[in-house]
Structure 1
């Protein structure tokens, strides 16, 4: 069942919680996303939040006709354009699949109903958002205080499984370097 990964994740974060799986599962829709397929396009309504069962998504925006990648989401991670989802405004980011990806999605309306109907899910999402906000702040500090080489070394050492799955073009965009500059960093790391 496509929701099994979600319930394993909930249990990992809330081991003592009673989770009414059948009732909660009814709020989610399973989707299969092909490599490079868009889940969300800039300027379109942002109406869903996505849980990655299998695969990898990335969040980006267009700048001077190029993708500016700002975040990746692998298995057990959530992703959306959070501000647009919260404010029910057009998206300022796009979301696409790095590889063929299975996601669960929940609409804004169903998300609010879920949180009101099952307070345990509000606690779960609070934990998700606390962790995501902390990670975003840490990334910002790390990115601002480390050289590109040190940041690459940090990321490659800390997240080797992520690096292995991300195409160089996307990772170079995430780092704010050209693909050629990324190749130099990779060669320096191997040396």
Structure 2
């Protein structure tokens, strides 16, 4: 069960077997059925979750009631509301499973204790946070500077497994376009 997360951590820092054992003891395995909210707007996010199996979406609902997808997270990804988790303030987003998921969770109330027991994890979590920030910055740049066609092509290139697992209307929301416009883009791409 811990094989994937230990490999993931060891790509960031090299932990000894003893350190990995301590780390693993702080992780809580959890099976979560499809269409389950892990977090709702207004709640405080008290977890960081590593996905062993499954697909999760993070999103917010705008003033007009439209759902805007922020991320899709699948195997070997972390999911959380970083702002709510670190500042212990109410979340502005939702985290919901799209498939049955097997997760490993770290609770906010024990993370500091874990980092004190295994100081190298501080570096690992910092590196992970930097990578996630880079992904968000790239996404923001694409949203502002690229056409919908270009955003779709980059999405397919970076996440080729997502379209088989996620409904088209959610991909359209992620890209910031209507499902109908995404359908036209897909038809044009098929003709090329």
For Structure 1 versus Structure 2, the TM-score category normalised by the shorter chain is over 0.9
Write the mapping of 1:26-41 to structure 2, written as runs, cut at 5 A.
Answer: 26-41=25-40
Asked if residue 92 in structure 1 is aligned to residue 106 in structure 2, the reply is no
Write the mapping of 1:154-165 to structure 2, written as runs, cut at 5 A.
Answer: 154-165=154-165
Distance 1:118 1:56 in 2: 29
After superposition, what is the alpha-carbon deviation per residue over 1:73-111, rounded to whole angstroms, capped at 9, x for unaligned?
111111111111111011111100111111111111111
Distance 1:91 1:105 in 2: 18
Distance 1:166 1:13 in 2: 29
State the 1:151 CA deviation: 0.9
Partner residue of 1:83? Answer: 83
Distance 1:103 1:50 in 2: 6
Write the mapping of 1:41-190 to structure 2, written as runs, cut at 5 A.
Answer: 41-63=40-62, 64-190=64-190
State the 1:132 CA deviation: 0.7
After superposition, what is the alpha-carbon deviation per residue over 1:125-176, rounded to whole angstroms, capped at 9, x for unaligned?
0110111111111111122111001111121123211232221121111111
After superposition, what is the alpha-carbon deviation per residue over 1:34-71, rounded to whole angstroms, capped at 9, x for unaligned?
11111001101211111111111111111223321111
Distance 1:127 1:158 in 2: 20
Q: Which runs of 4+ in 1 moved over 3 A?
A: none
Q: Which stretch of structure 1 is more off in the superposition, 158-167 or 72-81? A: 158-167
Distance 1:5 1:160 in 2: 21
Distance 2:157 2:188 in 1: 14
Where in structure 1 are there 5+ consecutive unaligned residues?
none
Distance 2:107 2:177 in 1: 35
Distance 2:66 2:165 in 1: 21
Secondary structure, aligned partner of 1:65: coil
Q: Cα RMSD over matched residues?
A: 1.4
Distance 1:119 1:163 in 2: 39
Partner residue of 1:18? Answer: 16
